[in-house]
Amino acid sequence: MILTKSSKELYTEYTHRMQKIADIKYSAAVLQWDQETYLPAKGADFRGRQLATLSEIGHEWFVDPTLGLLLQTLDERADLQEDEKRNITLSLEDYEKQKKFSPAFVRLLSEASSRCFHAWLQARAANSFALYKDELQKLVDLKKQEAELAGYEKHPYNALLDQYEKGATVGLLDQVFNEVRVPLKEILDRIAGRPQVDDAFLRGDYPKQTQWDFGMDLIRRMGFDFEAGRQDLSEHPFTTSFNPHDVRITTRIDAHDFSHMTWSCIHETGHALYEQGLPPHYYGLPLGEFASLSIHESQSRLWENNIGRSERWWKTIYPRLQTLFPGQLGSASLEQFYKGINKVHPSLIRTEADEVSYHFHVMIRYELEKQLIQGTLSVDSIPAWWNENYKTWLGVTVPDDKRGCLQDVHWSHGSFGYFPTYSLGSFYAAQFFATAEKQVPGLDEAIGQGQTAPLLHWLRESIHRHGRRYTSEELCQQATGKPLDINYFLDYLLDKYGNIYNF
């Protein structure tokens, strides 16, 4: 029957099927968003069941042999348009990967993730890794099984990395991190030998509601469309999207530290702007999805650091901020504020880390995950291993589990292989921003006036609108004319922090 239909008819059927699957996927995403924002504690068990059912149904529909035959048939047709062909190629690739997993296994993984997330919340509240480790162990065992089912070469962690960054391997990441580790350590050592900047004014009495209102204003300034999204509070800031017209972000607020909310708002809005910029007419299809996690992180890191920690962007915003918090910031000049928000000092928390030491946080997690999935590190050993490596690489003593190995939500979601994309994203961000500065007339002046619309337009045209059309490297080549070059990032750090610390 399929063979007798025209390519147009078959492609319409393919689109219909994929969008129904997307409906299931994003319905589950709504429940996951609610789970992390408003779900009452007693609803956790039923919510886990609901998410598992939707995950199972969505997977069953996607690995249906009828869809597989449809994709294979369309893949052999020569009369598809370029975008149609690319959607089919990517969907067939996804199909071949996903059919390795049974719906029952997908359900098991979803149920384990839900239990693990709620165990993480309880462990965070009690500041006790012991309350988390049993559920985490079950999830790690399933992720090992997932790697075996997916198949891999050389290292089981490669199978999980590929889910977030297509083509990423332990060999590639080891090479990248080895390339940046020494230069980053040299920059840290040079800064350590200089007089430290003062950031004490960032801590004090910062009322939560005033912070919230200011954060909402920042988000608007960046171009977030509140008719196509919203912000809420959660234990760990995150972004989720149900379609380009419904993108949710969250933040967290510390009434005694201005930094927590401000840069989590900027970071998550960077993610959200990417999601809002994806082409809505490709809903449910690969060209309507983000390119990769490293490209996603490039967007959040670009806004958080290249814009959000730049002196020029704060020129027009800082005077208003001083009026909101006159007692805390009234006597701090713009230059003092700029230096304070860029203070380089190894610390405990990844999401609050400066741009230089940040990547040691990522490398520690990367090494830990590799060993967990390979089986050379046990779940029970995580706190001790974590604490030892924070002392070795960052020179800090971890006082408790909450500020140590319980600080990130990622493992409770089963997101093993995600962390390396944060560093890759920072490297891409520096290259993208340097290119935008060259290609967008008057960009520097616009940012100095608090206007980021020209930058957002460049990102929409160069990154967002392409969806998954290109791999990360292909997209970088397309947008900048070069493959990824970490020297953009290192040059950016040397220029910025050389000026701040006078070295």
Q: Which residues are catalytic?
A: 268
Task: Measure the CA–CA gap between 177 and 166, rounded to whole angstroms.
Answer: 18
Residue type, position 322, single letter: Q
- The closest of 159, 136, 191 to 377, measured between CA atoms, is 136
C-alpha span between 91 and 71 (Å, rounded) = 7
Query: What is d(CA 424, CA 398) in angstroms, rounded to the nearest whole number?
Result: 26
Rounded to whole angstroms, how far apart are CA atoms 495 and 434? 13
What whole-number distance in Å separates Cα of residue 124 and Cα of residue 36? 14
What is the DSSP code (8-state) at residue 227? Answer: G
Rg (CA), the chain: 23
Burial state string for 2-18 with b = 16 or more CB within 10 A and e = fewer than 16: eeeeebeebbebbbebb
Report how far apart the first and last C-alpha atoms of the chain are (Å, whole number): 72
Closest CA to 424 of 472, 471, 456: 472
Name all contacts of 324-328 with Cβ < 8 Å and 24+ positions apart: 324/210, 324/214, 325/206, 325/210, 325/258, 327/204, 327/205, 328/201, 328/204, 328/205, 328/206, 328/258
The b/e string for 333-345 (b: 16+ C-beta within 10 A; e otherwise) is eeeebbbbbbbbb
**Dihedral pair phi/psi, residue 42, rounded to 5°:** -75, -10
Cα 313 from Cα 158, distance rounded (Å): 39
CA dist 466 and 288 (Å) reads 8
* Neighbouring C-beta atoms of residue 269, cutoff 10 Å: 30
- DSSP code of residue 492: H
